[in-house]
Amino acid sequence: MGGAIVYSGRRNPEWRVSQPVVRKLQKLWKAMPLISQPEPNSPGLGYRGTCLRGSRDREWIAFQGIVSLKTPAGIEVRTDDAREFEKALLASAPAGLLPPEVAEDE
């Protein structure tokens, strides 16, 4: 499942991500350089990134050129300066699902 982290106090938009998009995201992930810096601080309100939940309790969160993978074993963080992962995941959302300010940022 894909999602955008945009709301505080209400349900965030979620959608099914097609297998071709998942494969593209996995390729992007594997190509990203590993970094040791922590995840970026997110603003308190408004858009705070996009997420992809996979099998085996895996969750990728992409925001501000940083993509993190959270698993039961820990967190791995990679850099995505062009924000390709984030943009590709947001672009996979059905039309009209995302708030206008998020959809415009794609």
Residues sharing a CB contact under 8 Å with residue 35, sequence separation 6 or more, in sequence order: 66, 77, 78, 79
* Domain tally, the chain: 1
Residues sharing a CB contact under 8 Å with residue 38, sequence separation 6 or more, in sequence order: 77
Report which DSSP code applies to 33.
P
pLDDT tier at 99, thresholds 50, 70, 90 = confident
Residue 103 is assigned to a structural domain of this protein: no
Q: Is the pLDDT of residue 106 over 60?
A: no
Residue 73 is assigned to a structural domain of this protein: yes
Q: Which domain holds residue 87?
A: 2-96
**Degrees, nearest 5: CA angle 39-14-104:** 75
Residue 59 is assigned to a structural domain of this protein: yes
pLDDT tier at 44, thresholds 50, 70, 90 = low
Residue 101 is assigned to a structural domain of this protein: no
Residue 102 is assigned to a structural domain of this protein: no
- Give the other-Cβ count within 10 Å of 67's Cβ: 28
